[in-house]
Structure 1
Amino acid sequence: MEMSDRYCHGTRVDVSSVSTSMATDPMKEEILRDDLRFYFMSPCEKYRTRRQLPWKLAVQILKIFMITLQLILFGLNNQLVVSYKEENLMAFKSLFLKGYSGADEDDYSIAVYTKQSVYDSLHYVIDQYSQLGNLSVGPISYAEENEKFLPLIICKKSYKKGSIEPSEEVYDIDAELETVCLTLDPESTKTWRMNNASFLELDFYRLVDVEITFTLKGINLQTVRSHELPDCYSFFIKIVFDNSCHSGKVKLTLDFDAVSSVCKNWKISGTAQKSTHYLLIFDGFVIVVCLSSAVLCTRSIVLAVRLLQRFSSFCLENYNQKVCEDDQREFLNGWYILVIISDVLAIIGSILKMEIQAKSLTNYDVCSIFLGTSTLMVWVGVIRYLGYFEKYNVLILTMGAALPKVLRFCCCAGMIYLGYTFCGWIVLGPYHEKFEGLSRVAECLFSLVNGDDMFPTFAEFEQKNTMVWLFSRAYLYSFISLFIYMVLSLFIALITDAYETIKGYQTTGFPMTELQRFMTGQKEGFPLQGQEVVGTECGEAETIHPSVMLCCCKSVPKDDTIILIS
């Protein structure tokens, strides 16, 4: 057997040149070729060839409509829940925060600047809480436990001891914090205030914050309009008087946690309960369809692995050659994996949705993430079937061709982007609200790359600090020039280059792999045929097989193991 030296990936290796006259079983080869052709056919071609119904395609189409309808129904219900919580938060702020205008600042609801204003705001909360039943227009009341109202709790946190004399620039502070709390029954407000007058006297130079917490109950009646059973809510409200900065500005914030639960005793007439049963049946049918889709795709993957094993064994036994990695990846259909993942997410989301409808679960956000992600993947997975049409597969082919280069390019550009992010945060953060946090800096820079909000970003820098103002100009001009005129242009050029390459292939034909040559029965490309290729390192002609140029496949000993899918 003739021996020759060949290059593979730039490295000289010694391989055995296998004679193409080696005896093969024509019937076995033709059966394998037919099976490979059938596997890579489109659903329509499979139906015309063997009258095999496209079950996967039918299931995917049915699943798209069902999951999308399920998402819409859940989204409408979720909007009612979110709006109920947001409107209650606004109502509580208007009820318990004196002077609240309806608009929050960045990290607080309202601010006061005098001692009397602090006392007035503190007493206002207590008074409003004690008169809640006469003030609120919504179905809100005090929370009860063991037939008793849960009390309002007031805690003040302050330095343990200390004295401050700003005029003499003298201070003596014990950094240890102490917290003192008292409870207030809504039915004994006047008596409580008289008995605890000293508690409400605040030492502002030691005071860190005052925290007021209480629990209210409510019922979300608006879900009746969407034929859903109303939920009962517990609102855990917390009001904080923040004096931690000791800057003369006390920030008031009100926040709450809303927890829904099944109402203990309820009675409702109409179709709400009946509609709930229909929705549970529909969700169960969605789960069945998703399971069917996952089973069909898993079956296709198993068949693909078995077919790859047959093809690998055939190449090894008859030509002493491994199947190259590019051809192995043809058998591993990423669309099937995407569909299986979307099916799993849809099943989990449907189960969570059923638990929410049965009032056994209250976390709408987790359910919406699962349902939303699964719907996204389902719609993306449909692109696979459009890819069978030449005029519709340009996007898929371009993305596949450009993705490796784009990822490498983004790694380099990301290093520069992170550098600008950290620099902007540390230097400009104290002087501009868009640079106060790392995430906000990254978002601001990304908007600048897309040409959004440019002038306000420049204009909002005040000229109080000349050095920082000059630095901000150099920082913004350099970032915008670099990323818009260079980085973004190169990014688009990479995608354009991939598109032009794909467009040229559609005109002249795509390069054929060894697998495609075998399926088409081209003897000149498969099995091994020696070709003379000039241009090696030594300037000499080397005998290189086309598979080395395409896939860098190499001959292996017969006892070597076979890698099925890399």
Structure 2
Amino acid sequence: MAWCVNDPNGNWSGSPALPEPLEEEVEKFRRKLKYFFMNPCDKYKARQRKPWKLILQILKIAVVTIQLVSFGLSNQMVVQFKEENLMTFRHLFLKNFSESSANTYAVYTQHDVYTHIAYTVEQFLKLPSLTVANHEYEKQGEVSAPLSLCQQFYRNASISPANESFHIDSQVDEGDDVCHGQLLTRPPLDLTFCWFLSECLLVYPPHPSSRPAEHTLNFTLHFQRLLAVAVRFTLKAINLETVQYHELPDCYVFNITISFDNKPHSGRIVIELDNDVQIYECRDGTVTGASPRNMYIMVLFDVVVILILLLSFFLCMRSLKAGVLLQSEYTAFFSSRYSKRVSFSDRMEFISGWYILIIISDVLTITGSLLKIIIQLKAVASYDLCSILLGTGTMLVWIGVLRYMGYLKKYNILIITLRAAFPNVIRFSCCAAMIYLGYCFCGWIVLGPYHSKFRTLNVVSESLFSLINGDDMFSTFKKMQQKSYVVWLFSRVYLYTFVSLFIYMVLSLFITLITDTYDTIKHQRLDGEPVSDLQAFIMQCKDPPESGRFSVNETRCLMSCSHRACGSDDNTD
């Protein structure tokens, strides 16, 4: 069989002459390939089929964006309510708290530790008369849930810095739920406080009908072996902001933990207030003019979105399957007709990465929509996971718009440039990452003790990435401590070489990779050179889309015809 080669003009040489019926079958196959790679408008001209997939994608972009905005506005109210309650709890239960000291809130003396703990307990007992919101204690049957005060410490410890000696049992002890030798299931009749047999204490709120009495905490902290003190209690509240939008409000449970961290034993005990929030549907409640109709409408809208996404998923999967089948047909044709192996790049032309991108976005958005429906029905409160799924899915949907912009001539060259430059960019980034990681480890171990921006590997990476983008350069140089002249001098060499290497060399080479790829593709377009054997083969089909020769009957499989062509060639030879 003769060898087949395409010249720069797209002409094929060296192929044996085919009988007219077989040549007609080859032309049909060319038209089939050309139709497969047409844009939706040309396909409409060729077969008068409306571009349903394009219409569906445009509709999907609209409904997915509306769904995301709706969820974002709802989530914004939830996040705002949680953040405002967190700030409220800090002002209520932390003594002399100010927003400016949120990251440096700590105590330094034993007296301050006892004072702050006593203040928290006192504020907890007085909560009904202090709060301006609708915060209330959690109920355990007929009584209110207590506040628990526990300390965590080493089992045994004897430390003498003056003698440079220590003896520590690393086993950590913590309080249990035993009060006076019995499991605590209800508050004592005459006591507000109840000691645990270990180092824990329960503080029960006073009965609503009684006046809160003055109590003095009588407990001892083992500072020499103390690791942490934890104050835990639970409050409930209702978010009434949704009433303005004629929606039923949600009930919130706040599991509050105030921790006094003494693990470093540095003389500074850091105080932090953490708030774990759970959201539930209120068991009983009515609002005049409000009904769950809006919620049901949103659930119905989410179901419609899921149906659209499922249809999009099915159509893209069908297109991928058609591409795989046509790839096999094209590979068999080239193997039998020209005895030529199809290159990997030509085979991948049949597998559209845009369809894979759309399928991934559909799966993410469908999962996020189902989770959103469950959240709206108050079964779960996984707002963060739902946000990640919907946000990533919507981002990929909008990125998928580039596929249709690529059909425009002026935009097409930009998209092809990005696709062609991507492998080189990945390889170059891997090489640059080796240098970057080297600087990260070096900066962390050398500059970490002397610079706040190099204390952890994560912070080091963020600081160096900011330097690459020219951000915060002066402060990075300025904040370097001068306790060690050798380290200070090393920091100058380190920072100057990093900035020079990455800004003047690495980034410049990175940009050059993309511009060279753009120039290469641009010259190929101007010179009319075929990029691949597949495109050269298709270019021989001169039939325009509106010629009427792209009917369904014209696109029969060529496998049997290819075998007949091989047999004919053998007989000819």
Give TM-score, length-normalised by structure 1: 0.85
Deviation at 1:193, TM superposition (A): 4.9
Residue 124 in structure 1 maps to residue 119 in structure 2:
yes
- Work out whether residues 320 and 351 of structure 2, in 8 Å CA contact, stay in contact via their aligned partners in 1: yes
Cα distance in structure 2, aligned partners of 1:462 and 1:129 = 43
- Work out whether residues 243 and 290 of structure 2, in 8 Å CA contact, stay in contact via their aligned partners in 1: no
2:26 pairs, out of 19, 25, 29, with: 29
- For residue 497 of structure 1, what is the aligned residue in structure 2? 516
Letter in 2 for 1:236: N
Deviation at 1:393, TM superposition (A): 1.7
Cα distance in structure 2, aligned partners of 1:267 and 1:352 = 26
Which aligned pairs between 1:176-255 and structure 2 lie closer than 5 A?
Answer: 176-179=171-174, 180-187=199-206, 193=215, 197=218, 200-255=219-274
Q: Which runs of 5+ in 2 are unaligned?
A: 6-12, 175-198, 543-565, 567-573
Residue 47 in structure 1 maps to residue 48 in structure 2:
no
- For residue 391 of structure 1, what is the aligned residue in structure 2? 410
- Work out whether residues 227 and 276 of structure 1, in 8 Å CA contact, stay in contact via their aligned partners in 2: no
Residue 487 in structure 1 maps to residue 506 in structure 2:
yes
Residues 382-425 of structure 1: per-residue CA shift (max 9 Å, x gap): 11111111111232111112111111111110000001111111
The 1:162/1:294 distance shift into structure 2, 3 A limit, reads closer
3-state SS, counterpart of residue 224 of structure 1: helix
Q: Which runs of 5+ in 1 are unaligned?
A: 7-16, 524-557, 559-566
Total equivalences in the alignment: 508
3-state SS, counterpart of residue 392 of structure 1: helix
- Work out whether residues 126 and 212 of structure 2, in 8 Å CA contact, stay in contact via their aligned partners in 1: no
RMSD: 2.4
Cα distance in structure 2, aligned partners of 1:358 and 1:114 = 49
3-state SS, counterpart of residue 247 of structure 1: coil
1:260 pairs, out of 251, 271, 279, with: 279
Cα distance in structure 2, aligned partners of 1:513 and 1:206 = 74
Deviation at 1:159, TM superposition (A): 2.6
- Work out whether residues 238 and 256 of structure 1, in 8 Å CA contact, stay in contact via their aligned partners in 2: yes
Deviation at 1:322, TM superposition (A): 3.0
- Work out whether residues 257 and 273 of structure 2, in 8 Å CA contact, stay in contact via their aligned partners in 1: yes
The 1:340/1:161 distance shift into structure 2, 3 A limit, reads closer
Name the stretch that deviates more: 304-313 or 346-355.
304-313
Deviation at 1:171, TM superposition (A): 4.1
Letter in 1 for 2:251: C
- Work out whether residues 248 and 290 of structure 2, in 8 Å CA contact, stay in contact via their aligned partners in 1: no
Letter in 2 for 1:176: Q
Cα distance in structure 2, aligned partners of 1:227 and 1:71 = 21
- Work out whether residues 243 and 287 of structure 2, in 8 Å CA contact, stay in contact via their aligned partners in 1: no
3-state SS, counterpart of residue 409 of structure 2: coil
- For residue 302 of structure 2, what is the aligned residue in structure 1? 283
Deviation at 1:25, TM superposition (A): 1.1
- Work out whether residues 224 and 272 of structure 1, in 8 Å CA contact, stay in contact via their aligned partners in 2: no
Which aligned pairs between 1:61-460 and structure 2 lie closer than 5 A?
Answer: 61-106=58-103, 110-179=105-174, 180-187=199-206, 193=215, 197=218, 200-460=219-479
The 1:340/1:175 distance shift into structure 2, 3 A limit, reads closer
The 1:202/1:26 distance shift into structure 2, 3 A limit, reads same
Cα distance in structure 2, aligned partners of 1:445 and 1:142 = 48
Residues 229-282 of structure 1: per-residue CA shift (max 9 Å, x gap): 321111111111122222221211111110111111121232452211111111
- Work out whether residues 2 and 338 of structure 2, in 8 Å CA contact, stay in contact via their aligned partners in 1: no
Cα distance in structure 1, aligned partners of 2:362 and 2:125 = 52
3-state SS, counterpart of residue 393 of structure 2: helix
Cα distance in structure 2, aligned partners of 1:2 and 1:476 = 63
- Work out whether residues 78 and 364 of structure 1, in 8 Å CA contact, stay in contact via their aligned partners in 2: yes
Letter in 2 for 1:58: I
The 1:501/1:520 distance shift into structure 2, 3 A limit, reads closer
- For residue 561 of structure 1, what is the aligned residue in structure 2? none
Residues 62-81 of structure 1: per-residue CA shift (max 9 Å, x gap): 11111111111111111111
Cα distance in structure 2, aligned partners of 1:220 and 1:48 = 57
The 1:192/1:423 distance shift into structure 2, 3 A limit, reads farther
Cα distance in structure 1, aligned partners of 2:139 and 2:534 = 73
Cα distance in structure 2, aligned partners of 1:49 and 1:163 = 89
Letter in 1 for 2:488: W
Cα distance in structure 1, aligned partners of 2:421 and 2:139 = 62
Residues 95-123 of structure 1: per-residue CA shift (max 9 Å, x gap): 111011123454xx611112211111010
Quick one: percent identity of the two aligned structures? 49
Deviation at 1:20, TM superposition (A): 2.0
The 1:227/1:401 distance shift into structure 2, 3 A limit, reads farther
Cα distance in structure 2, aligned partners of 1:350 and 1:45 = 35
Letter in 1 for 2:85: N
Deviation at 1:202, TM superposition (A): 2.1
Deviation at 1:54, TM superposition (A): 0.4
3-state SS, counterpart of residue 391 of structure 1: helix
Name the stretch that deviates more: 128-137 or 32-41.
32-41
- Work out whether residues 31 and 541 of structure 2, in 8 Å CA contact, stay in contact via their aligned partners in 1: no
- Work out whether residues 428 and 435 of structure 1, in 8 Å CA contact, stay in contact via their aligned partners in 2: yes
The 1:111/1:28 distance shift into structure 2, 3 A limit, reads same
Cα distance in structure 2, aligned partners of 1:175 and 1:300 = 63
Letter in 1 for 2:343: C
Give TM-score, length-normalised by structure 2: 0.84
- Work out whether residues 425 and 441 of structure 1, in 8 Å CA contact, stay in contact via their aligned partners in 2: yes
Letter in 2 for 1:142: Y
Deviation at 1:51, TM superposition (A): 0.5
- Work out whether residues 160 and 178 of structure 1, in 8 Å CA contact, stay in contact via their aligned partners in 2: yes
- Work out whether residues 155 and 212 of structure 1, in 8 Å CA contact, stay in contact via their aligned partners in 2: yes
Letter in 1 for 2:378: K
- For residue 16 of structure 2, what is the aligned residue in structure 1? 20
- Work out whether residues 530 and 536 of structure 2, in 8 Å CA contact, stay in contact via their aligned partners in 1: no
